Amino acid sequence: MKKIPVFQGACTAIVTPFREQGLDYARLEKNLEAQYEGDTAAILVCGTTGENATLSQDEHNELVRCTVNACRGKMKVIVGIGGNNTAAALKKAENAAAVGADALLMVTPYYNKTSQKGLIEHFLYVADRVELPLILYNVPSRTGIGIAAETYKALSEHPNINGVKEASGDFSLIARTRALCGEGLIQWSGNDDNTVPMMALGAQGVISVAGNIVPGVVSKLCSLCLSNDFAGATELYCKYAALFSALFIETNPMPVKAAMQLLEQDSGLLRLPLTQISEEHLGALRKTMHEVGLL
């Protein structure tokens, strides 16, 4: 069953501008406008980069509402609903649908580590109850559990499951999933440094961290790949490869929020347990940004 991708090209996993008391929604709207000006196709709100795990339900709801209103008619809005509580994920999904979001992103459950059968039931529980397209999220380095190719095949048969944000970095898995699922499961890169090779294997774009600071670059990279200009895409990637790596010098989103501050872009505070990156790593990040011409 061929499926139409929720988006093609660049989707930025947007940071959340926290303040000492609550969230800065006005700043969020300014950051979203900058994304639109950078030709970003879609926004992921309340993802890992948005520090989803530290949001209250009310904050999550308001972030989604604000993002949908700011992006309406400009960019698609994908809402991170994942966690290790399936019923709570459904509540977030229902709210996202009610305010007009375009799609959902649901990560594998972490800590209460389940089986592949449990993963299938976890994702289907939401997909059966909400009509929005659901994008799976595979990031075993953070969750401790990965999705097997055969599990992807089973999930791809559900009409509401559109695809996967694949951040495993496992190209054998990516290729086998493509072979098993074909156009029944869309793939997007979940890592900026995997975008070009994944798109060469048929991925439709990237859900990006780097897009917070270089949205135009990430959009152009995807555009080149979608045009089958992989030579041009490789050249552009090589120019920014060190930056893509530096943005993970410590746990995401700590480095990208620091990078935004270096660019005098207001990224807001981090919420504990995340903290500012070390002075050593800040210096290395600044050096890399200078080398690629951002500073």
Q: Judge whether 165 counts as a catalytic residue.
A: yes
Q: Is 60 helix (H, G, I), strand (E, B) or coil?
A: helix
The rounded distance, in Å, linking the Cα atoms of 125 and 52 is: 20
Say which residue the tokens 């559109």 belong to: 162
What does the DSSP assignment read for 207-241?
EESGGGT-HHHHHHHHHHHHTT-HHHHHHHHHHHH
112: left (phi over 0), alpha (psi -120 to 50) or beta: beta
Whole-Å CA distances, 66 to 101, 120, 151, 248: 11, 31, 34, 28
Handedness of CA 274, 86, 4, 37 (dihedral sign): negative
Q: Judge whether 2 counts as a catalytic residue.
A: no
The rounded distance, in Å, linking the Cα atoms of 286 and 213 is: 13
Geometric angle at alpha carbon 245, from 241 and 246, rounded to 5° = 115
Catalytic-labelled residue, pool 137, 152, 237, 240: 137
Catalytic-labelled residue, pool 165, 220, 237, 240: 165
Find the farthest-apart pair of alpha carbons in the chain and give their distance in angstroms, rounded.
51
Peptide linkage before 273 cis (omega within 30 of 0): yes
Helix (H) / strand (E) element for 187: namely strand 186-189
Among all residues, which ones are annotated catalytic?
137, 165
